[in-house]
Amino acid sequence: MKTRILGKTGWSISEIGLGCWQLGNDFGPVEDKQAIAVLDAASEQGISFFDTADVYGAGLSEERIGRWLASSTLAPKIATKVGRDAALYPDGYTKEKIKQSLQASAKRLGVEIINLAQLHCVPREVLFAGDILAWMEDLQQEGVIEHFGASVEMLDEARFCCQSDKLVSLQMLFNIFRQDAVEEVFPLVEQQNIGVIVRLPLASGLLSGKMHHGYQFNEQDHRSYNKDGAAFHVGETFNGIPFETGVVLIDELKARLTSNHNVLDVALRWILDQPQVSTIIAGASQPSQVIRNAQASDLPVLNDELHTMLKDFYQTNVRQHIRGGI
Ligand SMILES: NC(=O)c1ccc[n+]([C@@H]2O[C@H](COP(=O)([O-])OP(=O)(O)OC[C@H]3O[C@@H](n4cnc5c(N)ncnc54)[C@H](OP(=O)(O)O)[C@@H]3O)[C@@H](O)[C@H]2O)c1
């Protein structure tokens, strides 16, 4: 597993990380034993960066990571998120309440101090008011968190966050079906030495290539109840693309790939080919998926011809289908 530096933290972390939303049962039920197996598989693959949030399974994802950490000799960096629990979202934000949420996360994780606390897609007006970033700086000074970053939905929010001197990372929706950040945000993060943490690298699994028309999702799975954005931002489920359209696009893309390429490898390697990316937090509900995704670190860089094809395909075929804005 190759490593990269996470912005101003100076931490060397695995370029493939682990997304732990799945461990909160938000992609359908995952038993305790399976959750621990996912975390074990990640550490065995050299994955040293896990992403979670206080709200994933109402604390279950953090608790499971905490239990796993307590029995492990390894110390991966844990990034959690704050800002979407009922005490805060959508308009109850105060510094004290954020501190309490972070302290509750630290307790569930069983850590003295949180490695990286990310603002969790807080409403635009709250972010743009600016106080919340200043509060995160204060909480860092107080020793509640080592570092802070922000997970954002929109590119203008990402650009706004780059104005903060102390912000170390931006977590963004980014994949071969959502490419605009390359030109709209990456030059700025490079200038500010901010690490990019990529979420939805597989567009909620669409880009694994395994999904087809009529594919069934568990009723507890956000890909069932949020496929059109009924519960939260539509971009977080299938990248904002209507599922049936996504399946058609994958078939079109497969037809353009040569036999020595498959969609999943191309999707992960394309992200790694962007030097501004620090890590890809690929979500996994099975240990086998973790192992498969970790292999992307060993793949060769994609050639220019393939990069050009993927850029054209995105611009011409995909971009128009993204709902919820970019
Ligand atoms: N607002 C935010 O800050 C925010 C929002 C969304 C996500 N995130 C974070 O980002 C992480 C990644 O995003 P995501 O999990 O939503 O999307 P993703 O990584 O694009 O997709 C994950 C899903 O893809 C499928 N998959 C993964 N690896 C596979 C493989 N090798 N073969 C076949 N299928 C595979 C699995 O589906 P099945 O489970 O159906 O097998 C898995 O649940 C999350 O876990 C979470 O930590 C943050």
The CATH code belonging to domain 3-214+243-321 is 3.20.20.100
Helix (H) or strand (E) holding 119: strand 114-120
In degrees and rounded to multiples of 5, residue 11 shows phi and psi of -65, 140
The pLDDT, as a whole number, for residue 259 is 83
Tens-digit pLDDT profile for residues 156-199:
999 999 999 999 999 999 999 999 999 999 999 999 999 999 99
Q: Kindly give the distance from the C-alpha atom of residue 49 to the centroid of ligand 1, in angstroms, as a whole number.
A: 15
Distance CA 234, CA 283 (A): 18
Tens-digit pLDDT profile for residues 262-310:
999 999 999 999 999 999 999 999 999 999 999 999 999 999 999 999 9
Report the nearest atom of ligand 1 relative to the CA of 171.
Answer: 3
Q: Are 201 and 174 in contact (CB under 8 A)?
A: yes
End-to-end CA distance of the chain: give it in Å, rounded. 31
The pLDDT, as a whole number, for residue 130 is 86
The DSSP result for 225-263, as a single string, is: HTTTSSSS-GGGSGGGS-HHHHHHHHHHHHHHS-TT--H
Domain ranges for the chain? 3-214+243-321
To test the ligand 1 pocket, which listed residue (54, 56, 105, 204) has its Cβ within 8 A of the most ligand atoms? Answer: 204
